């Protein structure tokens, strides 16, 4: 079982955390600088900790030098990964829409 995730990275941020979604991709702010693979290593460590898997189970499959990356995490299904991201990011706030009031 493997989950894939598309990330839009902003390296050199104050702290490593998810910052919402951009279409199908998740925006991830990374505290490490984008030099010598430090940001990629920080992404792998962060996602492994989030998913509860060893760092060897997380691999960047494309976008090594770019800001858009596709990451694959072994030992986790996509639904569990999305749930872990949402829990780390916080739940969306109430928009005040009629649909939200009826729920």
pLDDT in tens, 77-89: 999 999 999 888 7
The span from the CA of 29 to the CA of 7, in Å, is: 10
pLDDT in tens, 18-49: 999 999 999 999 999 999 999 999 999 999 99
Q: What is the pTM of this model?
A: 0.83
Domain range list for the chain? 2-90
CATH for the stretch 2-90: 3.30.1200.10
Environment class of 27 (CB within 10 Å of its CB; exposed 0-12, middle 13-18, buried 19+): middle
């Amino acid at each position: 079982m493997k989950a894939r995730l598309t990330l839009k990275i902003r390296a050199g941020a104050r702290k490593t955390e998810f910052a919402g979604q951009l279409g199908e991709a998740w925006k991830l702010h990374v505290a490490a600088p984008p030099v010598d693979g430090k940001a990629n290593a920080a992404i792998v460590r962060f996602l492994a900790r989030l998913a509860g898997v060893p760092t060897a189970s997380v691999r960047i499959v494309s976008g090594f030098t770019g800001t858009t990356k596709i990451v694959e995490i072994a030992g986790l299904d996509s639904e569990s990964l999305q749930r872990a991201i949402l829990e780390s990011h916080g739940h969306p706030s109430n928009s005040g829409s009629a649909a939200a009031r009826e729920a």
